[in-house]
Structure 1
Amino acid sequence: MTYPPDAPRLARGGKSIYGAPLGILMLEARFPRIPGDMGNAGTWPFPVLFRVVRGASPERVVLGGAKGLLPDFIAAAQDLVDLGAEAITTNCGFLSLFQAEMAAAVKVPVATSSLMQVPWVQATLPPGRRVGVITVSRASLTPAHLDAAGVPRDVPVEGTEGGREFFRVLITAEKQDMDVALAAQDILEAGRRLVARHPEIGAIVLECTNMPPYAAALREEIGLPVFDIYTLVSWFHGGLRPRRF
């Protein structure tokens, strides 16, 4: 057997799993993970490691403020790092509450929330334009969530809790199936309300990690750039495995 002349002669160990440097902490839920959803492995053009945090239901994390769950998320993140993850992210933007504690505990880069993109996107906009946020639950997104992600407290926010499908499937778990067209309408209607109330908005950040399947339609609907957990994780992974030229 021959090897390329530039191949390393020493293979280094120390991990259980190789080739998947990004670990994703998942909430415990049973709703559909359609393509584009963070919890659908086919969404990602690179391998990832998943770990479900037992007891961390969407309702408990979003509506209940994730009370009492920090030790469980730290333990799950540490397990992913032990397996081979070189960085950690989560599949709920409301976990921004745990950003500082998790980064300190696991000793690898951590990005808990899509909301962390808000200040970055704001820096790209011309004077007089602002970032707007669409979240799964406007009433539950507190100043503490925003502070933890570095988001100004006066950021314009719109939620989907008044919709017909998205919130009641993902958060209150009223059923396990989902009408994707109705869910899409909930996102589009939230976007229309947001820009109608705040015409100065120049870009949108989607808090919820289940919203990327609808980002392209929202971009077409409102004519503004849309950022989500897919854009965040793609950037994050790009630093873990820079492209060779």
Structure 2
Amino acid sequence: MSTVAAGGKSIYGAPLGILMLETRFARIPGDMGNAGTWPFPVLFRVVKGADPKRVVLNQAAGLLPNFIEAAQELVHLGAEAITTNCGFLSLFQKELAEAVGVPVATSSLIQVPWVQATLPPGKRVGVVTVSGKSLTPRHLEAAGAPVDTPFIGTEDGREFFRVLIMGEKDDLDVSLAEQDILDAGRRLLRAHPEIGALVLECTNMPPYAKALQAALGVPVYDIYSLITWWHAGLRPRGFA
């Protein structure tokens, strides 16, 4: 009996498409934009005009058509689900899902209500973001997160914000970047001792999640935890 292989795509075996910002900074292992981060194949597409300043500091103004076009290109290639390279793109969650007709997860912030459901009474989720001054109730609401979620940014750090958002250089001092994340997390927990878990908004933060969890003693979730969970639904494990 013959076997028929289904066609209709350009690329097979990579069901997840990632919309990338236009950047030049180093993407170390664990960063969403480092292909080696993922334990499965992914498809990347850089969105024209989507630099970090415009997306984060200016709420991605005027960029929705660019993201829709790039997402549609990924779906045409073979992507069965679409995610993005910046948590601030939660603003485009509804529009992107409507435009591409496949599952879309624009932001790590989508996990906030899920994580909240796991916490004991009296505990809540906190968020570490690359830019606390730029994260608004609109971003949280679009991700399904409570608008009063406590959060903190990394603007006062020495490396992370300066390199990733301001683009002051291409190279990244990983030790300094990690210290910026740790400092922000500690400040957030001092201000909100009721926090029982953290969600990292920025897709460049997963390399530092382990150190943050060890330092603070609370669960830490990020874009890696979201996407690996999501992929498990796209390609469920088979059991004998």
TM-score w.r.t. length of structure 2:
0.99
Which stretch shifts more, 8-17 or 69-78?
8-17
Q: Distance in 2 between matches of 1:38 and 1:45?
A: 12
Match 1:131 to one of 112, 125, 130: 125
Corresponding residue of 1:118: 112
Work out the percentage of aligned pairs sharing the same amino acid.
76
Match of residue 157 from structure 2: 163
Find the aligned partners of 2:198 and 2:17 in 1 and give their Cα distance.
Answer: 26
Is 1:98 matched up with 2:92? Answer: yes
Q: Specify the code of the residue in structure 2 equivalent to 1:173.
A: G
2 CA distance for matches of 1:99 and 1:37? 21
Query: In the alignment, does 2:4 pair up with 1:10?
Result: yes
Q: Distance in 2 between matches of 1:167 and 1:154?
A: 23
Which residue of 136, 142, 148 corresponds with 2:136?
A: 142
Cα separation, 1, equivalents of 2:55 and 2:61: 7
Quote the residue 1:109 is aligned against.
103
Secondary structure, counterpart of 1:181 in structure 2: helix
In 2, the alpha carbon distance for the partners of 1:42 and 1:178 equals: 18
- Give secondary structure in 1 for the equivalent of 2:44: strand
Structure 2 unmatched ranges of 5 or more: none
Q: Which residue of 1 aligns with 2:214?
A: 220
Q: For 1:53-109, what per-residue CA distance to the aligned partner results, in whole angstroms no more than 9, with x for missing partners?
A: 011000100001100000000000000000000000001000000000000000000
Letter paired with 1:225: P
Structure 2 residue identity aligned to 1:147: E
Instruction: Output the CA distance in 1 between the equivalents of 2:50 and 2:161.
Output: 17
SS at match of 2:96: helix
Equivalent in the alignment of 2:56: 62
What secondary structure, in the 3-state scheme, does the structure 2 residue paired with 1:133 have? strand
Please give the per-residue CA displacement for 1:170-192, whole angstroms capped at 9, x wherever unaligned.
00100111100000000000000
- Three-state SS of the structure 1 residue aligned to 2:196 is strand
Cα distance in 2 for residues equivalent to 1:236 and 1:31? 27
Q: CA RMSD in A?
A: 0.9
Runs of 4+ off more than 4 Å: none
SS in 2 for 1:243: coil
Structure 1: unaligned runs, 5 residues or longer: none
| Distance in 2 of aligned mates of 1:232 and 1:91 | 13
Distance 2:67 2:229 in 1: 23
**Alpha-carbon offset, residue 40 of structure 1:** 0.1
Structure 1 length as normaliser, TM-score?
A: 0.97
In structure 2, the partner of 1:210 is 204
Local SS of the residue matching 1:11: coil
Aligned to 2:21: 27
Aligned twin of 1:44: 38
Aligned residues: 239
1:74-85 matches, within 5 Å, as 74-85=68-79
